[in-house]
Amino acid sequence: MATVLSNNSVISSITRFGLYEPFDLQIARNQIGGHDHLDLSGYSAAVGSSAFGPLWEGLTSSGGNYPFPTTAGVIVVVSDSASDTAVTMLISGLNSAYEPITESVALNGTTIVTTTQSFWRINKVVTTAGNAVGNVTFTRGATVIAKVNAGIGQTQMAVYTVPAGYTFYLTYFQADGNTTTTSGAYMNTRLRTTLRPSDVVLISGQTTYLTNLQLPYGVPVEIEEKTDFEFQFLGSGGAGARQNCYAGGYIIKNSGPL
């Protein structure tokens, strides 16, 4: 279990010397071919009680599914602060073949910047240089599909699309909210998956909780390649406002050389 680098040197796992090193740590160190870890963190201060919706910056109290684009295209990027001219952000997503692509974008304040590549999906955006003081939006056509709020530095999206040739194995889920045992309010959560290209929608793991929910999966939940999935929330009994969630697991290559 080792990764061969471009200079032909090999970083060895400590297990090759008869010692113990956790499997998770080896994956985090990129020592196991064809394996990677995925950590999703979603947050919203606008969870309502009208309809289920995923935790991301575009969620409103009216809820609603995440607006996955139906075609690939360039992404329009802009900040709402003219001061954001020394900030670079890395967009990680997929092209129309569901293959991973990335592109760095240098902000130009309130003047729009357009990617050179066509994105089918955005899975994450993270700041790599500078610190934006404004809210930065990422638009496909007329629809905002990602946003980095001021002072956060990266997207907070409980939304993801599995790349072609890979499977995601969900091993952990946690949600936290501001409901209490005396308020009479509670939260509902569920996992919504959309299989592509069939567009079959599956709902699983629907449950309720008060302030905290933890789900360590004894057997990982398998999510196939090209599947869009989102962790959705709905308030009941007046519940809403601030909610966050964390989900983690492994992205593993399906076949071929590791």
Q: Is the model's pLDDT at 70 over the cut of 60?
A: yes
Instruction: Name which of 212, 210, 209, 230 is nearest 175 in CA terms.
Output: 212
Pick the residue with more confidence: 17 or 247?
Answer: 247
Q: Is the model's pLDDT at 18 over the cut of 80?
A: no
Break the chain into its structural domains and give their ranges.
1-33, 35-56+160-253, 76-151
Bridge partners for 88 per DSSP? 106, 129
Tokens describing residue 177: 């909210």
Give residue 213's identity as a one-letter amino acid code.
L
Digit-coded pLDDT (tens) for 103-158? 999 999 999 999 999 999 999 999 999 999 999 999 998 999 999 999 999 999 99
Q: Average pLDDT in the 233-256 region?
A: 85
CB count within 10 Å of CB 52 equals: 20
C-alpha 82: how far from its chain's center? 28
pTM over 0.85: yes
Q: What is the largest CA-CA distance in the chain?
A: 61
Measured CA angle at 129 (ends 126, 135), to 5 deg: 55
Q: For domain 35-56+160-253, which CATH number applies: 2.30.40.10, 3.90.420.10, 3.30.1360.20, 2.60.120.20?
A: 2.60.120.20
Digit-coded pLDDT (tens) for 166-184? 999 999 999 988 766 556 7
Peptide bond preceding 197: is omega within 30 degrees of 0, i.e. cis?
yes
CA distance 255 to 247: 25
Instruction: Name which of 219, 216, 92, 222 is nearest 168 in CA terms.
Output: 222
